[in-house]
Amino acid sequence: MQVFIDRIRAAIAAHSGLDAAELKIESPRDPSLGDLAFPCFPLAKALRKAPPAIAAELGEKLTGDLEGISVEAAGPYLNFRIDRGTLAAQVLGTIQEEGEGFGGSDEGSGKTVVLDFSSPNIAKPFHVGHLRSTILGATIQRLHDALGYRTVGINHIGDWGSQFGKLVAAIQRWGDEVDLEGDPIRSLLTLYIRFHDEAENDPELVEAGRAAFRELESGEEGEVRATWRRLTELSLAEFDRIYQRLGVSFDHVRGEAFYEPYLEPTIERIRASGITEESEGALVVRLDEYEKGAPPCLLRKTDGTTLYATRDLAAVFHRWDEFAFDRCLYVVGSDQRLHFRQLKYVLRRMGLDWESRVEHVDFGMLSLPEGKLSTRKGQVVFLEDLLDRAVEQAGAIIAEKNPDLADPERVAEEVGLGAVVFHDQKRERVKDVVFDWDEVLSFEGETGPYVQYTHARLASILRKAVEKGLEAAELAPESLAGLADSGELLLTLGRFPTVVRSAAAEAEPSIVTRYVLELAREMNSWYANHRVLGGDPEESRARLALVRGAKIVIGNGLRLLGVAAPEEM
Ligand code: ARG
């Protein structure tokens, strides 16, 4: 589509003397008026004429100027309609040429985006909240990759903090009663819950936890640190299984502990800017000048230990120093909004202008019908259980629908995981998600399997065409004239690069999800009304070219979302 927009802009610029880049071409509100529109209001001032008069005059001048595009003035607007053969040749030609790269560009080249996502906590299960961060974060990274940005994905593992003192104390007391090596996450969770239960009436236990964390922070290489290290390794190995299954990887796995050496220099850096205050022995930065009632950011507690916020400040400086990012995105649940506002306020108080490049990409909670998930209370749904169940159910549906499928296990994995991953990105990310098995796995609703199924169906049409010796038409306007009544679909296909661009800009995967759903729906209803194989061969060939283009675009959309695009299911 960009090609047509550029040509229209250049032609208007040539006749009006205005700068082509400044001319705004939009989609008409009513698609029956045309494919693109130019509102003439911005020209009124320069040309000292009323917009309808400008539209009429310009319309006449442009007629014949734009090959394959007709012009019509309607009030203050100029409406443009692209000849369907020309549109088809351009859109399908670009898709065919760019293949898996279609949708992307190099507009981000030379710019760096840091993404902090997934970031589960050591010694706790990787729960569905972290699943959302992992899925959304990986998609937002792929979107930026597709646009040519240099991206740096960082897994900011929660491996530091007072809870590790508690865990070490719990292991010292009850470590023998659990199977740490065999089932680390469950064992550590049990110990964590037990610590919280018993600590209520056991001040000694509380003190033992505090002492262990103090020792950890002191940097001493003793038993406490060795235990902490063991916890970390056991947990990371567990998390890796899930990442592998989801096909997610990171450029850096840097836990909070990674920033330990930078904590003191960070506190010094902030103190040197003159914004810190002592408050009851703690070191704080007041923030109420930006937000009434905003609690101060605590840099160091009375007992000398640092906090989550201190470590995030150290991390953001480290990232700025290392990557000089254009964007630094934190894909973290909306329950941490205050934390990230505080982080940004501290940077703002320090007068750092790159503060605006730091964005909290927040998202709503994922809840299962059984209720909200809370680690501490032990109502945990282990992610692997969830994925297993999705794959199992997908397998059952597939076995029923297509008992002759060649590789049913692989497809079940692709469809089961695809269903969960798609569902998680279906609505605007700030919205809460309620997990409903029937909805997630349905082949008919607005689901991943529905889009995957559409993709597989297009693949099957193409296979059948090969069997019949039919090839897609040449991508030239004359050969594609048969697509005259498929303009809407062609325009939808041509819009994909814009979709990718806005999804990246807004860090909003649901823009892609909604788009592929719409495309799948349009494609299916087109297919219901158009015979692709078995009719007039010329017509079949033109329609096959469209099927091939749509298959590529749906596949690219799914892959950007981290969902497999099976050829058969
Ligand atoms: N580990 C944290 C949690 O599970 C999330 C960390 C997010 N990233 C960050 N830089 N604070 O709640």
130 carries an active-site annotation: yes
Residue 173 is assigned to a structural domain of this protein: no
CB distance 268 to 314 below 8 Å? no
State the closest ligand 1 atom to the C-alpha of 157, by its place in the atom list counted from 1.
Answer: 1
CB distance 122 to 255 below 8 Å? yes
Nearest to 360 by CA among 383, 398, 334, 380: 334
CB distance 311 to 321 below 8 Å? no
Residue 13 is assigned to a structural domain of this protein: yes
Using the structure block, give the residue that is written with the tokens 């998390």: 239
Residues 343-359, mean pLDDT to the nearest whole number: 98
Query: E strand or H helix at 478, and its extent?
Result: none
Q: What is the CA(215)–ligand 1 centre distance, in A? A: 23
Q: Say whether pLDDT at 235 is over 90.
A: no
Phi and psi dihedrals of 446, rounded to 5?
-85, 75
For helices 84-98 and 487-494, give the axis angle rounded to 10 degrees: 40
Model confidence band, residue 205 (pLDDT cutoffs 50, 70, 90): very high
Q: Is 332 in the pocket of ligand 1 (CB under 6 A)?
A: yes
Residue 185 confidence (pLDDT): 78
Residue 349 is assigned to a structural domain of this protein: no
Q: Say whether pLDDT at 222 is over 90.
A: yes
Q: Is 446 in the pocket of ligand 1 (CB under 6 A)?
A: no
Residue 495 is assigned to a structural domain of this protein: yes
Q: What is the CA(130)–ligand 1 centre distance, in A? A: 9
Which of 111, 130, 431, 464 is catalytic? The answer is: 130
Q: What is the mean pLDDT of the chain?
A: 92
Task: Give the closest residue (by CA) to ligand 1 atom 11.
Answer: 312
Residue 536 is assigned to a structural domain of this protein: yes
Q: Is 116 in the pocket of ligand 1 (CB under 6 A)?
A: yes
Residue 450 confidence (pLDDT): 96
Question: 46, 62, 82: which is the final residue of a domain?
Answer: 82
DSSP 105-119: -STTTT-EEEEE---
Residue 79 confidence (pLDDT): 96
Phi and psi dihedrals of 530, rounded to 5?
-130, 130
468 carries an active-site annotation: no
Residue 98 is assigned to a structural domain of this protein: no
Model confidence band, residue 560 (pLDDT cutoffs 50, 70, 90): very high
Using the structure block, give the residue that is written with the tokens 């230990």: 305
DSSP 151-164: EEEEE--B--SHHH
CB distance 344 to 409 below 8 Å? no
CA distance 155 to 133: 10
Which of 15, 61, 111, 127 is catalytic? The answer is: 127
Residue 45 confidence (pLDDT): 84
Residue 189 confidence (pLDDT): 84
For helices 383-401 and 128-146, give the axis angle rounded to 10 degrees: 70
Number of domains in the chain: 2
- Residues 97-148 have pLDDT tens digits of 999 999 999 999 999 999 999 999 987 777 778 989 999 999 999 999 999 9
Residue 377 confidence (pLDDT): 36
Sign of CA dihedral 12, 13, 14, 15: positive
CB distance 184 to 192 below 8 Å? no
Q: Is 139 in the pocket of ligand 1 (CB under 6 A)?
A: no
Model confidence band, residue 306 (pLDDT cutoffs 50, 70, 90): confident
Dihedral (Cα; 48, 52, 57, 59), 10-degree rounding: 130
Q: What is the CA(228)–ligand 1 centre distance, in A? A: 19
Query: Quick one: tokens of 447?
Result: 């689901």
Residue 64 confidence (pLDDT): 83
CB distance 554 to 519 below 8 Å? yes
Residue 72 domain boundaries: 2-82
Nearest to 177 by CA among 168, 167, 195, 190: 190
Chain-centroid distance, C-alpha 21? 30
Using the structure block, give the residue that is written with the tokens 């299954």: 245
Residue 514 confidence (pLDDT): 98
Q: What is the CA(302)–ligand 1 centre distance, in A? A: 23
Report the length, in residues, of the chain: 569
- Residues 512-532 have pLDDT tens digits of 999 999 999 999 999 999 999
Give, as one character, the DSSP assignment of residue 296.
P
Using the structure block, give the residue that is written with the tokens 């973290």: 332
Sign of CA dihedral 146, 148, 149, 154: positive
DSSP 243-259: HHHHT---SEE--GGGG
Question: 82, 115, 133: which is the final residue of a domain?
Answer: 82
Residue 326 is assigned to a structural domain of this protein: no
CB distance 351 to 309 below 8 Å? no
Min mean pLDDT across 117-131, 152-166, 485-499, 503-517 is at 117-131
Task: Give the closest residue (by CA) to ligand 1 atom 4.
Answer: 120
Amino acid symbol at 444: E
156 carries an active-site annotation: no
Q: What is the CA(363)–ligand 1 centre distance, in A? A: 13
- Residues 451-464 have pLDDT tens digits of 999 999 999 999 99
Residue 69 is assigned to a structural domain of this protein: yes
Question: 32, 49, 82: which is the final residue of a domain?
Answer: 82
Specify which residues 284 forms β-bridges with: 277, 298
Q: Say whether pLDDT at 368 is over 90.
A: no
Q: Is 362 in the pocket of ligand 1 (CB under 6 A)?
A: no
Query: Quick one: tokens of 341?
Result: 């506002």
- Residues 237-285 have pLDDT tens digits of 888 988 999 999 999 999 999 999 999 999 999 999 999 999 999 999 9
User: CATH code at 530?
Assistant: 1.10.730.10
- Residues 399-419 have pLDDT tens digits of 999 999 999 999 999 999 999
- Residues 295-304 have pLDDT tens digits of 999 999 998 8
Using the structure block, give the residue that is written with the tokens 């819950």: 193
Model confidence band, residue 157 (pLDDT cutoffs 50, 70, 90): very high
